[in-house]
A and B are shown apart, each in its own frame.
Chain A
Amino acid sequence: MSDSPIAVEQHGPELLHHFVDAEQQRDAATLGMWLFLATEIMFFGGMFCAYLIYRYAYYNEFAAGSRSLDIYLGTINTAVLICSSLTVALGVRAAQMGKRKLLVILLLLTIVFGLAFMGIKGVEWYQKFEEHHVPGHSFNAADLVKEYPQIHIDQQHEQIYFSLYFAMTGLHALHMIIGVGIFIFLTCYAWKGRYTPKYYTPVEIGGLYWHFVDIVWIYLFPLLYLIDRKPLR
């Protein structure tokens, strides 16, 4: 059997020449995205390893740092991301059913939720900046020590907590920015009617990426915000 261009004419222009059929192309794309997500698990995992080691060593400092984060903003942000995952999932469903307008609305909503998340994150980071909890030369966690004088907190170990806080939430935020960028592209293409029930793979794999970023936050939230919130005597 020939693999000439004749076979391509029977499919849409999205079928790339080196694939036998659309199904192979879609299977390759989704496997590729899942493998990429596996690499991302290991990427964030390195930081989780650093976090684990230092939390084990400097529990008091980690607990104090955790308490200084705004749990309400953190919870709201978690909810925002969960809503965005909903709109993504509904968006993929809309694409599957060929509902172009609905798809565009859901993709836009996802972007809005993503931007809201980053806005709230920006507010939190600014709070940390004001409180001198940003690692570096002006770092000063004396306020944590003052609040709970019965607990011994080492300033330098505290700085490690905040270094990891900013590194992990920063890396996560970077992935969100990339996600928003991807979804802007998806929205434009969706608006132009490029996605049909026969071909919506980019929406599907973009969705997988977004859900993954959500899952990373699902773990970051308790690990960073909820280390020890019980009332201190």
Chain B
Amino acid sequence: MSEHIMSSKLYYTIWIALLCLTVVTAAVSFVDLGRFNTVIALVIATVKALLVVLFFMHVKYTSEKLTKIVIASAIFWLFLLLALSMADYGTRLLS
């Protein structure tokens, strides 16, 4: 972990951004965008998660590559579980 001490101003900025994104995602859900509602909700959630990971958890400022590999691997593994399971469910009606 790096010793880099972040400015509290940056923390407050991220905090405000997270709160705004929360309000946005809740508000957007009332607008009819069809399938895109889900996409936007997940995109916003991912942006929020990235803000927390990169700034609050200091991943942006760490010199440790291994941390990033661990995070990426875990997300990739979850993706494997979801994708290969859906490979079954998504194709059942086809066969």
- Give residues in A with beta carbon < 8 Å to B: 26-27, 30-31, 34-35, 37-38, 41-42, 45-46, 48-49, 52-53, 56-57, 71, 74-75, 78-79, 82-83, 85-86, 88-90, 93, 96-97, 204, 207-208, 211, 214-215, 218-219, 221-223, 225-231
Contacts and interface: CB of A to CB of B under 8 A. Distances in A.
* Interface size classification for chain B: 35 or more
Nearest to B4: A96
Nearest to A35: B70
Contacts of A49: 81-82, 85
Nearest to A66: B29
Contacts of B38: 227
Contacts, number: 134
28 contacts: A38-B71, A38-B74, A42-B81, A45-B82, A48-B82, A49-B81, A52-B82, A75-B22, A79-B19, A82-B15, A82-B19, A82-B22, A85-B15, A89-B55, A90-B11, A93-B6, A96-B3, A207-B56, A215-B48, A218-B52, A221-B45, A222-B44, A225-B26, A226-B29, A227-B38, A230-B31, A230-B33, A230-B37
Contacts of A46: 81
Contacts of B85: 49, 52-53
B40 to A, nearest CB: 9
Contact of A52 (B3, B15, B86): B86
A41 B25 CA distance: 23
Given A222-B25, A228-B29, 13 more contacts: A27-B64, A41-B75, A42-B74, A78-B22, A89-B6, A89-B55, A90-B11, A93-B11, A207-B56, A215-B53, A222-B45, A223-B41, A226-B41
Contacts of B82: 45, 48-49, 52
A82 B22 CA distance: 9
A57 B45 contact: no
